[in-house]
Structure 1
Amino acid sequence: MSKRKELLLRAYIVLAVLILIALMLITATVNIGVFQAEQWREKGDSTKLKYFDIEPDRGNIYSADGYPLATSVPYFDLHMDLNSEAMTKSIFDANIDSLAIYFSRYVFTDASPASIKRKMIRRRNDGDRYFPIKNNATYEELKNIKSFPLIRLGKYRGGLIVERKSRRLKPFRNLASRTIGLDRDNAPSVGLEASFDDYLRGNAGKKLMERVGNVWIPVHDLTEIDPERGMNVVTTLDMRIQDIAEKSLLNALHNHNADFGLAIVMEVETGAIRAMVNLDRGNKGYYEAYNHAIGDATEPGSTFKLASVMALLEDGLVDLEDSIFINHGRAVFGKYQMKDSEWHKEMQLTLRRAFELSSNVGIARAVDQAYGGSKKDAAKYIKRLHQFGLNDKTGIQLEGERDPFIKDVDSDSWNMAMSLAWMAHGYELHITPLQTLTFYNAVANNGKKMRPYIVSEINDGTTLVKRFKPEVLDSRIASSATIKLAQELLEGVVIRGTGSAFKSNEYNFAGKTGTTRLEYWKDDGRKYQASFAGYFPAEKPKYSCIVLVNNPTQNGYYGATVAGTVFREIADNCMATDIELMAKATVPLTEEKAQSLPVFQAGYSADIQTVVKKVGLNFDNNSNGEWAILMPGEEQISLENRSLEKGLVPNVVGMGVRDAIFILENRGMSVKVNGFGRVREQSVAAGTRISGQKILLYLG
């Protein structure tokens, strides 16, 4: 072999070896970087570097009138990397004296600047990269500390390490607390926090951290992924009505020493829940602990009589003027005696009168006579209850709604001698308070059954993501004739029946009392559940409402005495504070309520005039503009102009929050509110020139 060929061969061999080595390196790189990436990443995590989740802020939950019901408030754990690469000795030495003074004045107030300086120098010399400054600092405290000497040089040279956390707060505290719910790590979430968690929770970010000793500090590089804040949930709750309902129910629970109670207010036309109150007895009072409105399916008692009479009417088996033999309110069905709540002097009552007086015997006998001939006949009664939707969940946007239970004629517990009679007045079946209210709401809505809903929209703070609209479950649960008669019956209860003791002379409302005996199979001790379901005003009703009080032990236990008075108080307050409802009042409000009309009330002039005229007060109308304020006078109140000059911050003190926000936002201002009620103070003085600034409204 010639020398030239030998050299070429050696060159080829070397080249081949190099190519082989290169291929091996590429293969190993791909294998490690792709196929074994997770394995090596885990190994690296366990030693030096690791990615940590950055928890996002949860979205806010708002009321329909714009109040925050649940919000995430940020707080911060603050440390310093005293050995950051960018923090040179000259930078540290030039700033340590002034930084120690600031720390002594604002953070470590019990330590002198000299002692702080010595400590920081010692920790720097020891290689400390996680010097503690303050835990749970507020945002204002963080801003202040960021302005300190050395720290204000930035996160690299200043060495500030900020660990952001958040705390979930409910500005209204106990108000609607159980409905709003809880987001918790150590137990299942509940309420809206659970039902809308997919929207509220946001997306976690990622941050690379380096382990230094026993602590992890952030590595400032380009791999950090910012968290995405959760979306906002806007509810249908009206905090004015929620507040009214809670206060009314709370007073009743104390007055009757009850175990728990609930109140729900629903908008008739839409099914929107305007208030949902659940109060349980605790060690120091009553608190929102469990959502009985959707989570308790119990025997409803006499409020179920409406469904029984409607079934009879739908099948054409009775007339409301038919006479029913009640035997003074005593009867025997099967082996058991049935009694009315009180002895009646009459032997017979019309079906209408039996309903108005809530006669158990009267309604039970009417149903038993009509459907008790055979199982086939009894099945017709059950079929009507299904027609009314009483065997279905409402499908409200809250987790935890219980299934109703309507006994079937083929069930093992069916008893032809007893079941119909007891079901007729609300026993041997189970239904939640919300399901009962949904049925009553359909009657108020001329037979149209709406799905109750408590969330109206999802947004990301600027853009609408999803809107929830009113949904019709059944366009007509019964014939128009049956619905009309049902409405007459419910009005009759209040005018002439068990609800007459708490009827109003200022407006009409309709409903049915309920007094359920709990654990009626026990001989010792008696417990009751008082309830009232109805709607107001009776003519063109706007709201339906149910109130339930469990185990009242003093000052009465009947539905009328305990729950009916709460219903009346809720209705009174709604009628007195809602301009649309005031126009439907049958007579002007009483002088006492008229005098409670607040002066210094500002707002839309036409609305204020409607209110003042409706309550029957004389006033001087000196307003000729769109906006006005009610002012006190020597002899009578007067309505004066509230001028709004273009380009200047208007005076919105005394206005309702909706009017105030409308006016300010239309003038290009960013509005935040604090509190509840009408505007009592504004952060930017009236008359200030508008330049797109923020304004805070204090309510009260």
Structure 2
Amino acid sequence: MSKHSSIIARYRLIGFVFILAILWLFIKVLGIIFVDGPTWRKIAQTMHQPDTVTISPLRGNIISSDGHIVAISKPAYRLYLDFGAGSIQQLPQDSIYKQLDSLAYQMSLWEKGEQGTYQALRKRLREGYRKAELKKPGYRYVSICPYEVSHVEYQHLKQVYPLMMTVERKGRMVRRRGPLSVGLTYEERALRDRPYGELARRTIGSVYKEVKGDLTQGEYGLEQSFDTLLRGEPGLAVRQYLAGSTRQNTLHSPRAGYNVYTTLDMNLQQIVHRALYEQMTQFEADYGGAILMEVETGRILALANLTKGGESYYEGVNYALSALNEPGSTMKTPFMMAALDDGVCTPTDTIDTGNGVFKYGGYNIRDHNANRGGYGRISVAQGIWYSSNIVLAKIAIEGYVDHPEGIYKHLANYGLLERLDVGIEGVATPTVIRPEDKSYGNSTIPGISRGYGISVPAINTLNFYNGVANGGRIMRPYLVDRVEDADGKVIQEFQPQVLHENICKPATLDSIRSMLDNVVLKGTAARTVQSNLISISGKTGTALMSNHGGGGYRTSGEVYMTSFCGYFPSDRPKYSCIIFVVNPHGPGRASGGIVAGSGVKRIAEEIYTLSNPILLDTITPHTADMRLKHLELAGGKRKDVEHFLSAYGIPELRPQEGQKATLDQLVVPQYGHEAVQLYPLGNYSRGVMPRLVGLAPSEAVYQVSRQGLKVQLVGYGRVVGQSIPIGTPIKPGEKVILQLGNNHRQ
């Protein structure tokens, strides 16, 4: 019995201790809830449960064929204030308002428009603070400005009052972070930057400002067509907020978007853009476009579009690919090719054009010199030289009015009736009046022979002439060479593709090319396109527009589209080119040779001078030291510059140790008494102004953009002066003015 009593006593003791422990625990819980509760709840307000977030990938770059980045993502930030941060909650209200007002003032210095004024930002911050104080859902983190800020702006903001303060500590002034800086947080976003501005802007494209699912989205141009490859794939991370700070652990890194390498050459793009701009401004036209293509491959090397906006022109719509216009006389060449191939006529046949007026189907078909008595009887070949409407109309009547299916078959074989997939959205599909259409009549085929009743985008017209230059082989025009990942691995590659082979008989092709030669040598383009530097072949075009005003050919007066389409050099064509200008004004406005042909001539001559910058007769008669006095040599890649120095016997000083550039590195020439020394741009470190004098504008703009500077170009030609001296310390956001000119050494 005593044994059981001792066991019971021990159990009672254990039970009593257990009851005491429970009572102690209960009292402790009550203490935490009612005594320490406010303190712990205040700490809890500064903490969040970890959450999984996505990490936006960096969008891939778009790069020109000559290695220049034409579209690049740069970091931008959406800024927020965490009004629940402890350091902010400890401030008195009047102090918070004072610091918020100072913050609004600092951001107003960025001059972001009406939403970025001091008054607008001050109101935004104060209202955000009041809503956060009332603990309204969603107002703990307040967006402090309604726009993204750049990396430079964000870094600058963190270094100024009130985010950074100067206080006295132990008798000396020190800088420390202000209370607001603890609550400052951000979302990083990628903005799209085009270092070349308006150059090929419509072709390169743009992205939407809003990010969907942490991915950027292309809006138009190549940005849209290659969007799924450019935008990349988002990553995953775990993010936790603790006492105003943020900790983030990456679970899965984002995959950056792929880089798209275009066929565009920015040196050539500048030439084409400038030539089109000068023709547009000279004739005060409504809009126009220009395309430069590589004959052998179909690669589009330059693509420019300009729309009138107020007193200037800008890249608005990609008219060269999307505008359906009746081409006018440039359509005479494919029609003539069909007629020669079908044996309807020969180049030496003669046709009587009379006094320049021919009545058919109730309409008067007129030659452009009808007011001067017409051409009389001329050969079929001369009908192309002089762009005779009557010659082509009579050929059409003879060969195709009764059997129209033949001409449609030829036009399809020339690629003039199909939509051309160049690698970008928005390319128009040509249209043509066919026998089954209500508007078809006896005058339809004669109309098509001179470019009416058929509407094609400029790219189709150019592609046909490119085929003439390419020995009768029609290529598929394209804008992208390849797509690579960040490590340079090729993801996609695009090769030249033949659409139509042997579009005509060899004899026909020879006759057509001879006719196009003589258009420039003897015909409608003789005074405007013929060049002493380079041989050019092609055809002028003038069309009275039926769709300009929406009610027929003469609803808005006489509105013309003038054009010139051809290729150069004539004997061994390397480039094909078209310029078209809509609604030009002033003398010569109805002449394709004057309005458009002179622009193509300028393009051809400038491209020629790129490859032949030193004229032999200006340097060979002189000794080496005399050649330097007459030498005009642009900077560029070392291998290219040294090629010219070697070819023309220009001595080069051996660079000092450590100053020799790589073959592909940019160099600029510096002239001595007896030799040229080539200095690499890489000698200048980041944050120091490089030497830009002597470079082509495209190279100079690229170098400046890498330094984060704003640039203004003045004049044309290569860089002859820069507003910030070489070697001067520079900061991102500074503006440099580059003076362009010829810089002849006399």
Tell me if both proteins adopt one fold, taking TM over 0.5 as the criterion: yes
Q: TM-score, normalised by structure 2?
A: 0.68
SS of match in other structure, 1:189: strand
Aligned residue number for residue 255 of structure 1: 282
1:409 is displaced (CA, Å) by 3.5
Aligned residue number for residue 289 of structure 1: 316
Contact 2:182 2:245 in 1 (8 A): no
Aligned residue number for residue 351 of structure 2: 324
Aligned residue number for residue 268 of structure 1: 295
Aligned residue number for residue 584 of structure 2: 552
Please give the alpha-carbon distance, in whole angstroms, between the structure 2 residues aligned to 1:459 and 1:658.
Answer: 27
Aligned residue number for residue 692 of structure 1: none
The 5 A counterparts of 1:197-276 are 197-205=227-235, 220=247, 227-276=254-303
1:648 is displaced (CA, Å) by 12
Matched, 1:472 2:498: yes
Aligned residue number for residue 72 of structure 1: 73
Contact 2:469 2:567 in 1 (8 A): yes
Please give the alpha-carbon distance, in whole angstroms, between the structure 2 residues aligned to 1:74 and 1:647.
Answer: 27
1:404 is displaced (CA, Å) by 0.9
Matched, 1:58 2:59: yes
Contact 1:179 1:276 in 2 (8 A): yes
Could you list the per-position Cα deviations for residues 311-369 of structure 1 after superposition, in whole angstroms to 9, with x for gaps in the alignment? 01222332101101211322122111100111254421101111100001011212221
Could you list the per-position Cα deviations for residues 293-316 of structure 1 after superposition, in whole angstroms to 9, with x for gaps in the alignment? 111121111001110111012223
Please give the alpha-carbon distance, in whole angstroms, between the structure 2 residues aligned to 1:608 and 1:263.
Answer: 33
1:265 is displaced (CA, Å) by 0.7
Structure 1: unaligned runs, 5 residues or longer: 1-46, 91-95, 111-120, 665-670, 687-697
SS of match in other structure, 2:391: helix
Aligned residue number for residue 691 of structure 1: none
Matched, 1:542 2:574: yes
Matched, 1:353 2:353: no
Aligned residue number for residue 533 of structure 1: 565
Aligned residue number for residue 506 of structure 1: 533
User: What amino acid does structure 1 have at the position aligned with 2:417?
Assistant: N
Aligned residue number for residue 117 of structure 1: none
Contact 2:50 2:241 in 1 (8 A): yes
* Identical counterparts, % of pairs: 29
Per the alignment, do residues 613 and 340 of structure 1 end up closer, same or farther by CA in structure 2, a change over 3 Å counting? Answer: farther
The CA RMSD measured in Å over matched residues stands at 5.1
Structure 2: unaligned runs, 5 residues or longer: 1-47, 91-95, 110-117, 119-128, 166-174, 211-216, 547-551, 622-627, 662-666, 728-735, 739-746
Please give the alpha-carbon distance, in whole angstroms, between the structure 2 residues aligned to 1:560 and 1:630.
Answer: 39
Please give the alpha-carbon distance, in whole angstroms, between the structure 2 residues aligned to 1:281 and 1:224.
Answer: 51
Contact 2:348 2:379 in 1 (8 A): yes
Please give the alpha-carbon distance, in whole angstroms, between the structure 2 residues aligned to 1:297 and 1:587.
Answer: 47
Aligned residue number for residue 174 of structure 1: 198
SS of match in other structure, 2:203: helix
Aligned residue number for residue 45 of structure 2: none
The 5 A counterparts of 1:669-680 are none
Aligned residue number for residue 307 of structure 2: 280
1:564 is displaced (CA, Å) by 0.7
Query: Match for 1:575 among 608, 611, 622?
Result: 608
Aligned residue number for residue 139 of structure 1: 151
SS of match in other structure, 1:466: strand
Per the alignment, do residues 533 and 131 of structure 1 end up closer, same or farther by CA in structure 2, a change over 3 Å counting? Answer: closer
Per the alignment, do residues 588 and 263 of structure 1 end up closer, same or farther by CA in structure 2, a change over 3 Å counting? Answer: farther
Matched, 1:566 2:590: no
Per the alignment, do residues 80 and 259 of structure 1 end up closer, same or farther by CA in structure 2, a change over 3 Å counting? Answer: closer
Contact 2:208 2:219 in 1 (8 A): yes
Please give the alpha-carbon distance, in whole angstroms, between the structure 2 residues aligned to 1:225 and 1:49.
Answer: 16
SS of match in other structure, 2:461: helix
Please give the alpha-carbon distance, in whole angstroms, between the structure 2 residues aligned to 1:539 and 1:152.
Answer: 74
Query: Match for 2:485 among 460, 474, 492?
Result: 460
Aligned residue number for residue 383 of structure 1: 409
User: What amino acid does structure 2 have at the position aligned with 1:315?
Assistant: D
Could you list the per-position Cα deviations for residues 85-139 of structure 1 after superposition, in whole angstroms to 9, with x for gaps in the alignment? 9x9999xxxxx9xx99x989988999xxxxxxxxxx9999999964777774432
Please give the alpha-carbon distance, in whole angstroms, between the structure 1 residues aligned to 2:263 and 2:256.
Answer: 23
1:67 is displaced (CA, Å) by 2.5
Aligned residue number for residue 369 of structure 2: 342
Please give the alpha-carbon distance, in whole angstroms, between the structure 2 residues aligned to 1:281 and 1:204.
Answer: 40
Please give the alpha-carbon distance, in whole angstroms, between the structure 2 residues aligned to 1:223 and 1:426.
Answer: 62
The 5 A counterparts of 1:364-379 are 364-372=393-401, 374-375=402-403, 378-379=404-405
Query: Match for 1:437 among 450, 462, 466?
Result: 462
Per the alignment, do residues 537 and 366 of structure 1 end up closer, same or farther by CA in structure 2, a change over 3 Å counting? Answer: same
* Segment drifting more, 217-226 vs 190-199: 217-226
Contact 1:443 1:487 in 2 (8 A): yes
Per the alignment, do residues 509 and 152 of structure 1 end up closer, same or farther by CA in structure 2, a change over 3 Å counting? Answer: farther
Per the alignment, do residues 166 and 221 of structure 1 end up closer, same or farther by CA in structure 2, a change over 3 Å counting? Answer: closer
Please give the alpha-carbon distance, in whole angstroms, between the structure 1 residues aligned to 2:537 and 2:697.
Answer: 31
1:285 is displaced (CA, Å) by 1.5
Aligned residue number for residue 451 of structure 1: 476
Contact 2:238 2:249 in 1 (8 A): no
1:229 is displaced (CA, Å) by 3.2
Per the alignment, do residues 180 and 622 of structure 1 end up closer, same or farther by CA in structure 2, a change over 3 Å counting? Answer: closer
Query: Match for 1:310 among 337, 350, 353?
Result: 337
User: What amino acid does structure 1 have at the position aligned with 2:431?
Assistant: F
Aligned residue number for residue 161 of structure 1: 185
1:535 is displaced (CA, Å) by 0.8
Please give the alpha-carbon distance, in whole angstroms, between the structure 2 residues aligned to 1:75 and 1:318.
Answer: 66
User: What amino acid does structure 1 have at the position aligned with 2:588?
Assistant: G
Could you list the per-position Cα deviations for residues 432-482 of structure 1 after superposition, in whole angstroms to 9, with x for gaps in the alignment? 100100111111111121111111222233223222222222232223222
Please give the alpha-carbon distance, in whole angstroms, between the structure 2 residues aligned to 1:228 and 1:273.
Answer: 30
User: What amino acid does structure 2 have at the position aligned with 1:576?
Assistant: T
Per the alignment, do residues 586 and 108 of structure 1 end up closer, same or farther by CA in structure 2, a change over 3 Å counting? Answer: closer
Could you list the per-position Cα deviations for residues 612-661 of structure 1 after superposition, in whole angstroms to 9, with x for gaps in the alignment? 989xxxx8545689989755577xxx6424488x9999x98667689999
1:388 is displaced (CA, Å) by 1.2
Contact 2:670 2:678 in 1 (8 A): no
User: What amino acid does structure 2 have at the position aligned with 1:139?
Assistant: H
SS of match in other structure, 1:324: strand
Per the alignment, do residues 210 and 316 of structure 1 end up closer, same or farther by CA in structure 2, a change over 3 Å counting? Answer: same
Per the alignment, do residues 134 and 426 of structure 1 end up closer, same or farther by CA in structure 2, a change over 3 Å counting? Answer: closer
Please give the alpha-carbon distance, in whole angstroms, between the structure 1 residues aligned to 2:103 and 2:593.
Answer: 65
* Segment drifting more, 517-526 vs 185-194: 185-194
Could you list the per-position Cα deviations for residues 35-59 of structure 1 after superposition, in whole angstroms to 9, with x for gaps in the alignment? xxxxxxxxxxxx9998766544432
Paired residues, number: 601
The 5 A counterparts of 1:113-152 are 130=141, 136-143=148-155
Could you list the per-position Cα deviations for residues 544-570 of structure 1 after superposition, in whole angstroms to 9, with x for gaps in the alignment? 110000011223221011011111111
SS of match in other structure, 1:263: strand
Please give the alpha-carbon distance, in whole angstroms, between the structure 2 residues aligned to 1:313 and 1:611.
Answer: 49
Please give the alpha-carbon distance, in whole angstroms, between the structure 2 residues aligned to 1:369 and 1:333.
Answer: 13
Please give the alpha-carbon distance, in whole angstroms, between the structure 2 residues aligned to 1:384 and 1:602.
Answer: 46
Aligned residue number for residue 520 of structure 2: 494
Please give the alpha-carbon distance, in whole angstroms, between the structure 1 residues aligned to 2:258 and 2:567.
Answer: 35
Contact 1:507 1:586 in 2 (8 A): no
Please give the alpha-carbon distance, in whole angstroms, between the structure 2 residues aligned to 1:272 and 1:342.
Answer: 38
Please give the alpha-carbon distance, in whole angstroms, between the structure 2 residues aligned to 1:298 and 1:108.
Answer: 48
Contact 2:279 2:595 in 1 (8 A): yes
